[in-house]
Amino acid sequence: MTDRRSLLRTFVGLSVAGWATRGAAAEPGIGKDEILVGQSAVLTGPLGVSVQAFNAGAKLVFDGVNAQGGINGRKLRLHVLDDELKPDRAVANYQALLAEHKVFCFFGGVGSGTIAAATPVLRDSGAPLIGNYALSDSVREKAKGAAYFVRASYAREAEKLVEHLATIGITRVAVAHLANPGGDEVLTLVRAAVKAHGKANDVAGAAGVKNDGSGVAEAAQSLVSANAQAVIMFLSSSSVTKLMQAIWATGSSPAIYGMSIVAGDEVAKVLGKDLRGLATSQVVPYPWSDAEPAAREYRKRSEAAKLNVGYAGYEGYLNGLVLVEALRRAGREPTRAGLHAAMRAMKTRIGGMDLDFTGNSATGSRFVDLAHVTPAGKFRR
C-alpha cells in the first residue's frame, strides 16, 4: 500500500510538474492574454500607399476579434517594422521581431527580394508567414513550407488578362514592367500566356521602367513602336500615370491593363477627367458587392473607422480573416508547428474566395477578376 501511495504521489507530482513546465515553455509570442504577430513591410514610397491600406484593412479584422475577447481569450497584437523594400533591412527586421519582440508568427509579407532574403529566417525559427502583397511566383515556390500566400499568382493574372484580350479580338499585346527580376519574371509569364491563350506567338513588344520611375520616356517610345493594341502594365501607380501620359503624347492610344499592383484609384487621382481606357486585374472579389457578407462587413467597419473602401484594404481584410481562421484552427494552446498544420489543412471559402492550401502549392487562391477604372477613381466590373 505504501508503495502504491508513493507511486501515486510521484505520478501526481510529475503530472503537475509537467503542466507547469508546459506553461513555462509556451511558444514565443503566446502569452496568457495575447498573441504577438510580426510584420516587415514597405510603408513608404509608391508601394507603401497600398501596403498601408492593406494593413488598415487587416487591422479592422484584428480590432473586431479583440473586441470580442480575442482568439481563445488572447488578443492579437501586431508589431510592424518598415523594411523600405530592402532585403538586408527585411532580414534584420525579421530577426528583431523574433529575438526582441518575441513574435509567434508573421503576417503580410511584401516584395520578392525581401521575402526571398527572409525565408531562411522563417525556416530556422519555424514561425509561419501568412498572407502577402506583391510577391513573385518563383519566390513563393522557394518559400513553400515556410510561408502561405493568399492572393492568386502572377501567372494566373497574366492568364486571365491574355484570355480576356484574346476574347475581345486583341492580338498585339505589349508589356511595360519593372526593370528588376520580379518584372522580368512577369514579362516571361505574360509571354507564356500569350503563346498558350492569345492569338500570337509572342508579345508585340516590352519595355522596362526602373523602380524610381526613370526610363518612362524611352519605354513609351518602345511601346508605341511596337504598335500594340493593348499594354499590360506591371508598374507602380505613379509610373503607370507617367507612362500613359507619355504614350498619349505621341498620339497613340492603346488599351491599358494594369496588373493587381496598379492602384487604379491613385492613377485616377492624378489623371482625373483625362483618364481613359484603364482596366485592372484584381485578386480579391469586388469590395462594393451587396451580395457578399464579408464585403458588407468590411465596408461597414471601414466607414466606422473613416477609411476609404478599396481593393488594397479589402485584400488586407481578407488576409486578416485567413490569419484569424488559422489561429483558431491551431487550438487553445497554439504552437508554430500547429499553425503550419492548420494552414496546410485549410480548404475553405472566405469573403467570396475559394482557398485551398492542401495541395503542393503555397498559394491558396486562383481568384482573378477585371475591373474598369473611371475618371472619378471608381471601379466598375
DSSP class per residue in 109-139? EE-HHHHHHHHHHHHHH---EEEEES--HHH
Please tell me the predicted confidence (pLDDT) of residue 16.
32
Q: Which pLDDT band, with edges at 50, 70 and 90, does 221 fall under?
A: very high
**How far apart (Å, rounded) are the C-alpha atoms in residues 88 and 182?**
17
- What's the pLDDT at 115? 96
Question: In the prediction, which pLDDT does 15 show?
Answer: 35
Q: How far apart are CA 74 and CA 65, in angstroms?
A: 10
47 — pLDDT class (breaks 50, 70, 90): confident
**Does the global pTM surpass 0.75?**
yes
Q: Is 277 left (phi over 0), alpha (psi -120 to 50) or beta?
A: left
What pLDDT band is residue 142 in, cutting at 50, 70 and 90?
very high
* pLDDT at position 316: 98
pLDDT for the residue 19? 32
Confidence at residue 190, expressed as pLDDT on a 0 to 100 scale: 97
Q: What is the mean pLDDT of residues 56-75?
A: 98
Q: Note whether 124 and 335 are within 8 A (CB).
A: no
What percentage of the chain's residues is helix, strand, coil (to nearest 5)?
A: 50, 20, 30
Say if CB 219 and CB 208 are below 8 A apart.
yes
Helices (H) and strands (E) in the chain, counts: 13, 14
Q: Is the pLDDT of residue 247 over 60?
A: yes
Please provide residue 78's backbone torsions phi and psi, each rounded to the nearest 5 degrees.
-105, 125
Judge contact between 265 and 379, C-beta under 8 A.
Answer: yes
Average the pLDDT over 329-335 and give the result: 97
Nearest to 50 by CA among 203, 262, 211, 249: 262
Q: Is the pLDDT of residue 92 over 80?
A: yes
Mean pLDDT of 159-176: 96
Cβ count near 141 (within 10 Å)? 13
Q: For the chain, give the percent of residues with pLDDT over 90.
A: 84
Nearest residue to 142 (alpha-carbon basis) of 188, 96, 88, 185: 185
* Residue among 286, 113, 108, 106 nearest 185 (CA): 113
Mean pLDDT lowest for which of 13-22, 170-179, 320-329? Answer: 13-22
pLDDT of residue 237 exceeding 90, the answer is no
Query: Which has the higher per-residue pLDDT, 15 or 144?
Result: 144
Residue 228 per-residue DSSP state? -
Query: Under a CB-based contact definition with an 8 Å cutoff, are residues 30 and 333 in contact?
Result: yes
Average pLDDT for the chain: 92
pLDDT tens for each residue of 265-278 = 989 999 999 998 89
Contact between 333 and 137 under an 8 Å Cβ cutoff? The reply is: no
For residue 158, give the C-alpha cell: 497574366
Read off the pLDDT band of 328 (50, 70, 90).
very high
Mean pLDDT of 179-191: 94
pLDDT at residue 276 in the model: 86
Count of residues for the chain? 381
Supply 340's cell numbers: 503550419
Q: What's the pLDDT score for residue 3?
A: 46
Residues 250-275: what's their mean pLDDT?
A: 94
**Looking at residue 213, what is its pLDDT?**
85
Burial of 220 (0-12, 13-18, 19+ CB in 10 A): buried
- 181 — pLDDT class (breaks 50, 70, 90): confident
Give the model's confidence band at 236: pLDDT under 50 very low, under 70 low, under 90 confident, else very high. confident
pLDDT of residue 20 exceeding 60, the answer is no
- How far apart, in Å, are the Cα atoms of 295 and each of 171, 313, 317, 370? 36, 11, 9, 17
